[in-house]
Amino acid sequence: MQINRLVFPGFWFDRQDLSLAEDLARQGVGGFCLYGGTTQQIKLFTQKVRQASPLKKILICADYEDGLGRWVKDAPRLAPNLALGAAGDTQLAFEKGLLTALQARQLGVDWVFAPVLDLADTPNNPIVNTRAFSANGQDTARLARAFTNGLTQGGVLNCIKHFPGHGQTETDSHLALPVLNRSLDQLKQHELIPFVQLLPFTHGVMTGHLLLPQIDPQNPASFSPAIQTGLLKNQLGWKGCVLTDALLMRAIGDEKQAALKALQAGSHILLAMNDPQALIQFLHQQTLPQDLLQTATGQLDRLCQQADLLAANARGNLSTLPSFNLRAAHAACVQQGDCHIPPQARVKLLALGDNEKRGFAPFEQTLRQAGITLVQERADVLVILSLSNYKSFKGHINLSEEELSLARVETRKHSKSILVCLGSPFAAAGLQSCVNGTVHAFCPLEAFQQTAAEILLGRRKAKGHLPVQI
């Protein structure tokens, strides 16, 4: 039973049957990490697996980094961290954490795997980007601390990730193993700044699937004794829970061997594997030291106690949820150069990089309602909309060369061109020299699209400051 408790399977709604999770719960797994679902599906799931489990408590977890909406079909999505970094407002960061926690608890979720402490300092990083608060470690720490305060007040556990810092890589660890060629001194001066400052306030540290050859040339951080025990525990003094990132990611190869090495390196929780039943059987065939199992189960006991205590002392309400994204958009949007659209102008919209198929209807509607005529042919003003953003297993970000080429051709046909980034701000790098101005809105949420359009119309001033270098 001790071994089983260290396994936290992932559960993908609409792809897996609830009976599978109930069977795993009966075997004594320590918790689950949820992906997808509706609010009602999740409530039913948490109820059923808790009833099936012989344990006093199991921990229900989820990657609700931007509120619940990225994963939960009928829940709102909140402004991304990078937008909060542009706003620089700790109150907004606190409120995001609080709103996330309150909604998560309503569904029976105990543990939110956030905040992301990776730094947005590498333009081609395909998986961090707008999930980060900033390229600056101190700013990241300040905003992440406020966010964790919100999670705590709202009654859920938090988790900082992806130790020791996933920012300076250009590989999606869902697809392959990123390499971070940094010395320990370099890490301490840059990537580790937010981790060191947040350690006293977190409930868990999630390691990243990335190789740091100057510290451990053989093992990724996910199962590196030098990084998990040597750096995190011995040098930084972390005495709490260490958990792996999802073991199903292709960066680490065979998940059974990776899981075994992770435990031996100092991890306490094995997260989201392809085949939890096979992993459990494999681990039972190994000779695991008793003190390793006792330490890990002790960590889980403490987490369960902390989760109950947080839930009992939770306070706050969801009254500010409907206005949160609009307030965040007003504080976050950034303007560079001349972005004004004259009254009654004829405008051509060119949308690129719409990975998530979110579209740009709110932006378009705001222009139309202001009397702007949208045309397909040559216009007074060309507005290029970049909706490019990170997406797991995609492997790249920003605009493709074909999209950049198309945009450049169109700018040569127009006397005035404006770029609006409704996603990654780094998408602007290839176009800033051929447009008159840029508005950074960081995401395609309705409030941010409307605010970006209002800035172009001259109805609103952009108040944000870019938290990254382009």
- The pLDDT tens digits for 85-123 are 999 999 999 999 999 999 999 999 999 999 999 999 877
Query: How does DSSP classify residue 334?
Result: E
Assess contact for 456 and 339: CB atoms under 8 A. Answer: yes
Counting Cβ atoms within 10 Å, is residue 239 exposed (0-12), middle (13-18) or buried (19+)?
A: exposed
Identical fold for domains 2-321 and 333-456, yes or no, is no
Beta carbons within 8 Å of 192's beta carbon, 6+ residues apart: 137, 164, 165, 236
- Tell which CATH architecture fits domain 2-321: Alpha-Beta Barrel (3.20)
Rounded CA-CA distance 438/384 in Å is 9
Q: Is-catalytic flag, 216?
A: no
What does the pLDDT read at residue 393? 47
Query: What CATH architecture does domain 333-456 belong to?
Result: 3-Layer(aba) Sandwich (3.40)
- Sequence spans of domains, the chain: 2-321, 333-456
Name the residue among 204, 200, 197, 207 with its Cα closest to residue 227.
Answer: 207
User: Which tokens sit at 214?
Assistant: 């100057």
- Predicted confidence (pLDDT) per residue in 184-214, tens digit: 999 999 999 999 999 999 999 999 988 999 9
- 397-412 pLDDT per residue, tens: 778 889 999 999 999 9
Q: Could you tell me the pTM of the whole model?
A: 0.95
Residue 359 main-chain phi, psi, to 5 deg: 75, -175
Share of the chain above pLDDT 70, in %: 95
Contacts of 301 (CB under 8 A, 6+ apart): none
Q: At what angle do helices 361-369 and 446-456 cross, to 10 degrees?
A: 40
* CA separation, residue 108 to residues 48, 145, 288, 314 (Å): 11, 24, 32, 14
Exposure letters 269-296 (e unless 16+ CB within 10 A, then b): bbbbbeebeebbebbeeeebeeebbeeb
| Residue of 245, 330, 414, 440 marked active site | 245
Q: What is the DSSP letter of 74?
A: T
What single letter denotes the amino acid at residue 130?
A: T
* pLDDT tens digits along 356-386: 778 899 999 999 999 999 999 889 999 999 9
* Active-site annotation holds for 245: yes
User: Of 162, 166, 174, 203, which one is the catalytic site residue?
Assistant: 174
| 93 neighbors 141 (Cβ within 8 angstroms) | no
From 106-110, 141-145, 239-243, 389-393, the region with the lowest mean pLDDT:
389-393
